[in-house]
Chains A and B, each alone.
Chain A
Amino acid sequence: MTDEVLIDLRNITKTYGSGDAAFQALCGVDLTINRGDFVAIMGPSGSGKSTLMNLLGCLDTPTSGTYRFKNVQVENLNKDQRSLLRRHAHGFIFQGFNLLARTSALENVELPLLYRGYTRKQRHQMARQALASVGLPDKERNTPAELSGGQQQRVAIARAIVTNPDTLFADEPTGNLDSHTTLEIMELLGRLNRERGISIIMVTHEDHVASYANRTIRVLDGLIEK
Chain B
Amino acid sequence: MLLNALFIALREIRRNVIRSFLTVVGVVIGVAAVISMVSLGNGATAVVKQNISKMGNNLMTLRPGQGWGGGAGIPLFELADVDAIRDQVPGVDTVAPFVQTNVSAVFQENDRKTDIQGTTPDYFRVANWELAMGRFFTDEEVMEGAQVAVIGETIRKEVIGEGIDPIGCKIRLKSTTVTVIGVTTAKGQGGMSDDLDDNIIVPYTSIQRRLTGRGSNGRNINQIMIAGIDGYPSANVVADVTLLMRERRSLGENEENNFSIFDSQQLTEIVTASTKVMTQLLGWVAGVSLIVGGIGIMNIMLVSVTERTREIGIRLAIGARAREVLWQFLVEAVTLSCVGGICGIALAYAACYYGADLVGAPFQFDPKINIIAFVFSAGIGILFGFMPARRAAALDPIEALRHE
Contact = CB atoms under 8 A, between A and B. Distances in A.
A60 B313 CA distance: 13
Contact residues of B: prevailing secondary structure: helix
Interface string A108-121: 00011011110000
A83 B321 CA distance: 6
B293 to A, nearest CB: 26
Interface string A85-119: 11110101010001010110001000110111100
A80 interface: yes
Nearest to A156: B314
Interface of B: 4, 7-8, 11, 15-16, 310-311, 313-324, 397-398, 401
Given A114-B4, A117-B4, A84 B310 contact: no
Interface in A42-101: 54, 57, 59-60, 79-80, 83-88, 90, 92, 94, 98, 100
Given A98-B310, A107-B11, A117-B4, A112 B398 contact: no
A31 B5 CA distance: 39
Given A86-B319, A103-B15, A117-B4, A111 B314 contact: yes
The listed residue with most A CB atoms (<10 A of its CB), out of B317, B324, B397, is B317
Contact of B318 (A54, A103, A107, A159): A159
Contact of A102 (B15, B315, B318): B15
Contacts of B322: 79-80, 83
Contacts of B401: 94, 98
Contacts of B316: 83
8 contacts: A79-B322, A86-B319, A92-B318, A107-B11, A111-B314, A112-B318, A114-B8, A115-B4
Contacts of B15: 100, 102-103
Nearest to B8: A114
Given A57-B317, A59-B397, A94-B401, 11 more contacts: A54-B398, A83-B321, A84-B321, A87-B320, A90-B319, A98-B317, A100-B311, A102-B15, A102-B16, A111-B315, A115-B324
B215 to A, nearest CB: 90
A128 B11 CA distance: 19
A86 B318 contact: yes
Closest 8 CB pairs of A and B: A87-B319, A112-B318, A86-B319, A83-B321, A80-B321, A98-B314, A92-B317, A102-B15
B249 to A, nearest CB: 87
B319 A112 contact: yes
Nearest to B323: A80
The listed residue with most B CB atoms (<10 A of its CB), out of A60, A84, A100, A107, is A100
The listed residue with most B CB atoms (<10 A of its CB), out of A80, A94, A111, is A111
Contact of A60 (B314, B318, B324, B398): B398
A107 B11 CA distance: 10
A196 B80 CA distance: 113
A114 B11 CA distance: 12
Nearest to B16: A102
A194 to B, nearest CB: 24
Contacts of B310: 98
A46 B313 CA distance: 22
B319 A115 contact: yes
Nearest to A98: B314
B326 to A, nearest CB: 11
Contacts of B314: 98, 100, 111
Contacts of A57: 317
Nearest to B314: A98
Given A80-B323, A98-B401, A102-B15, A86 B8 contact: no
Contacts of B324: 115
Nearest to B397: A59
Given A114-B4, A117-B4, A86 B315 contact: no
B327 to A, nearest CB: 11
Contact of A114 (B7, B317, B398): B7
Contacts of A159: 318
A100 B313 CA distance: 11
B317 A59 contact: yes
B99 to A, nearest CB: 82
Contacts of A115: 4, 315, 318-320, 324
The listed residue with most B CB atoms (<10 A of its CB), out of A87, A90, A107, is A87
A90 B315 CA distance: 13
B3 to A, nearest CB: 10
Contacts of B317: 57, 59, 86, 92, 98
A103 B323 CA distance: 23
B302 to A, nearest CB: 20
A98 B404 CA distance: 11
Contacts of A83: 316, 319-322
Contacts of B7: 114
A116 to B, nearest CB: 8
A102 B15 CA distance: 6
A94 B319 CA distance: 15
A159 B318 CA distance: 9
Nearest to A107: B11
A115 B7 CA distance: 11
Nearest to A120: B7
A16 B346 CA distance: 55
Nearest to A57: B317
